[in-house]
Structure 1
């Protein structure tokens, strides 16, 4: 079971810590536990309750009324709201509850509702990515369990693969070689890039997680892609990053490398001329639009 500070609850629910404390005192909404050293903390049940309270409160329910609801009544209200509300924050709250409960059916239902309303691209950009960003900090500090993180990542990965498989390469366009550095396992952004590229009719050579350098070079020499794309979230580390980028730029001097990811965005580096940095990998859409404008797709 995970444990959360009141700041974690604030971060995930959007309710200020000061307000949460008032609600605790006035409505006995949650009762924090205490460690042996008397530090307050909250568990999964508390987080789930606060997320449901936030969703109801954001949709016009008064806190005094919410506090009187039993667990089943609150659950029914929340399910009804997530099927009707268009607010992205409400959908993110509902996804977080699904993660806590390891509830695949609920997670799938929420994603399906959003896909029908706003399409797959916008579901990824407006719901999934903000959701992953919200839980990312908690994962880094260890307040989300590996089981919860793996559960969510694998469900999103499955959704992306299903969408990618809808598109069959018909010839023409450019070649894109997608890979993650050795030791790098965070694959969702790379899969989303593969989906966007393949949908636009380009050829995707997808190597995925933790690609050994020797294999990367071998595949590159065989296919001679115009573009390579990678995401550097945790590996290589800060000390090795500049050398790694310089090495890539030299080995693949005849191609353009597109890089993104937490590690490369937060670490000061000098980018070689043939490396382009994207603040967000979804900016690959702009690259696709530029290629289309220049007639890269051959009908």
Structure 2
């Protein structure tokens, strides 16, 4: 008989399976994949059976199925009777993040590559990019902001990660039925790794993307939008000093090109005052860089 006792909170499950907590909540809400129990405080607790089901769903998604298709194929009894291949330890993703981050901050490319290759061989590409590399980038950015590492450390680490993420782009197929998305940093913004992770997320789901990165003048961005006939424009702002330029670009596109859906995200956007967030609410791509929020924004603005 399956164990119905809730053992794992949502953070533990997120770490074990390599997906964001927001994604888990979205799956439960949209597809009723699992029904976690609640403790006295109302927090979700997941059982071993839930873990096996969620892991199976993730495996099908990694093979190319949509979540909805995987749910339709789900045979709970078969999954529960299958031999237990085991789950990754809760701290395995954290260990990999720490190993890669430490190697990069020591300028040790050989060690970083060794740990990175191990990560790609252990987890799905999306887990590595979204959960491991994305987490490293956030941590390195925080260390740099606190003055605990130099600009040289930050540039070296982000350049290495940018190259590794870029290597997987070419192998991702495009779904011609999905809209074209232009991805660019705000004028003056050069911190582009968060945008690169978001672009990977879109490409993983079949969107055709035009990735411009950072350092592109506003006039050039407008020209590329017109030339490519993009349906979406996604603007990333990491440093608060470039937020005004980013919001100005949003206003210009929204006013002059009403056929284009424009969104803005990034660390500086998350830190905006509530009054600005309310003003730009329809353009905000997720409050916390969670992939479920990203997909919600894309679907809402593509309807």
| TMscore range, shorter length | 0.5 to 0.7
Give ranges in structure 2 of 5+ residues lacking alignment.
1-88
CA deviations 1:7-60 (Å, max 9, x no partner) are: xxxxxxxxxxxxxxxxxxxxxxxxxxxxxxxxxxxxxxxxxxxxxxxxxxxxxx
User: Which is worse superposed, 230-239 or 187-196?
Assistant: 230-239
Aligned to 2:222: 217
Give the aligned length. Answer: 211
CA distance, structure 1, for counterparts of residue 121 and residue 173 of structure 2 = 23
CA deviations 1:234-279 (Å, max 9, x no partner) are: 1654566654543342233322122211111101214347523322
Change (3 A) 1:150 1:170: same
CA distance, structure 1, for counterparts of residue 108 and residue 265 of structure 2 = 31
Is 1:275 aligned with 2:252? no
Paired residues for 1:1-299 under 5 Å: 87-169=92-174, 171-234=176-239, 236-237=241-242, 242-268=247-273, 269=276, 270-272=278-280, 275-283=283-291, 287=295
CA distance, structure 1, for counterparts of residue 183 and residue 246 of structure 2 = 18
**Partner SS state of residue 277, structure 1:** coil
CA distance, structure 1, for counterparts of residue 294 and residue 283 of structure 2 = 16
TM-score (norm 2): 0.61
What is the CA distance between 1:95 and its match in structure 2?
2.3
Aligned to 1:59: none
CA distance, structure 2, for counterparts of residue 125 and residue 253 of structure 1 = 31
User: Which is worse superposed, 176-185 or 96-105?
Assistant: 96-105
User: Which is worse superposed, 204-213 or 153-162?
Assistant: 204-213
What is the CA distance between 1:281 and its match in structure 2?
4.0
Change (3 A) 1:200 1:85: closer
Whether contact under 8 Å (1:178, 1:190) holds in the other structure is yes
TM-score (norm 1): 0.61
Structure (1 or 2) with the larger CA radius of gyration = 1
CA distance, structure 1, for counterparts of residue 296 and residue 120 of structure 2 = 22
Whether contact under 8 Å (2:129, 2:165) holds in the other structure is no
Structure 1 residue runs of 4+, over 3 Å off? Answer: 168-172, 235-245, 270-274, 288-291
CA distance, structure 1, for counterparts of residue 292 and residue 168 of structure 2 = 17
